[in-house]
Amino acid sequence: MQKLEVLRVTHCKSLKEVFESQYINGNSSDSKSSININKGSVDINAISRQPNINRARLSNLKILEIISCNLLQHVFTFSMLESLKHLEELKLKDCKAMKVIVEKENGEDRKDVVFPCLKLLELYRLPNLEGFFLGMNNFNWPLLEKVKIIECPQMMNFTCGQSTTRVLKGIHTNLGRHSLECGLNFHHLKIHQKLETIRVDDCGYVEEVFEVEGANEATNSELEIVVEIPNLRLMNLWSLKSLKYIWKSNQRKVLKFPNLTTLSICGCYSLKHVFTSSMVGGLLQLQHLHVSWCYNMEVIVKTEEEEDEVKEEMELFPCLKSLRLDNLKSLKGFCSGKVNFSWPLLHTLKVPAYPEITDMLRLQH
């Protein structure tokens, strides 16, 4: 199967192994470039029962899709990874018994693992998945652009070692009961330079979306550290019941999203504010701000405690076009400080009259 490029396996309820076959080795003369296995219509014994997985060679495989194979516990063994040099897309869906994508082997070394061509990784409804790989090897994904992890409630670690990607453009994840940082360790800011979209939903224990590395160590430094995610344009945060911060900030560290245009937050019950005053200066392109069903939200922009006084004239979102605030029962105002702000481009404003509001929005045109 050295020439195999596309493999789709769907609804094979008795399938326990995918690649253990004497036919998938360096001596194979199989010239097929695409195989579809659906509901057992192809004899799956030929690709599932032989013990020669260490010989498996899939050097031309580009797309692998496995759906509804409920006895399958893993896809690859560690020794197979070296042969997946051309894999571009990996999609796994509705496999109830799957625990890991890559299974550990006895005696494996600690060398770094590289998926040189993988661009898309999608993991859907894998209720027993604990991680992609639970060994300590580092993983490098130089071309990975999009990651989707949906309804994988048992995932505790994506990889135990470090995962590095330079061109990641989109993350869509809901990792169930474990935190975003624990579940998907693409969170380090230095790898987010190409990131364009973030969608995080139904992660019940996430408290912080972004983690600024070294935040605790550098608090005594007199130098201000500015971290930018320059290409991020869309961020959706939905049903993160424990979320307390989009990112933590202090006087020494500022995180900026210079090209973020749309921010939508819904169902984040523990979130008391969206921004601090130091963050606002890094959001000059924000056009659409929608916040709803955040019951403990008190203000949208919070004045930081370290500031002795707040500037009355603060440039708050000069490109804002749409502002929607819905079902924020604890909302007291837009900004906790006495700040005047101007939104010359605003054309949509939805701010219901909550009885708890003590500070009124002041719009200057």
What's residue 252's pLDDT? 64
- pTM comes to 0.69
Q: What is the 3-state secondary structure (H, E, C) of the chain?
A: CCCCCEEEEECCCCCCCCCCCCCCCCCCCCCCCEEEEECCCCCHHHHCCCCCHHHCCCCCCCEEEEECCCCCCCCEEHHHHHHCCCCCEEEEECCCCCCECEECCCCCCCCCEECCCCCEEEEECCCCCCECECCCCCEECCCCCEEEEECCCCCCCCECCCEECCCCCEEEEECECCCHHHHCCCCEHHHCCCCCEEEEECECCCCEEEECCCCCCCCCCCCCEEEECCCCCEEEEECCCCCCEEECCECCEEEECCCCCEEEEECCCCCCCCEEHHHHCCCCCCCEEEEECCCCCCEEEECCCCCCCCCCECCCCCCCCEEEEECCCCCCEEECCCCEEECCCCCEEECCCCCCCCCCCCEEC
What's residue 163's pLDDT? 80
- Span 215-258, pLDDT tens digits: 444 445 556 667 788 888 999 999 888 888 887 665 566 778 89
Highest-confidence segment of 53-57, 168-172, 261-265 = 261-265
pLDDT of residue 303 exceeding 70: yes
What's residue 121's pLDDT? 93
pLDDT cut 90: percent of the chain above it: 26
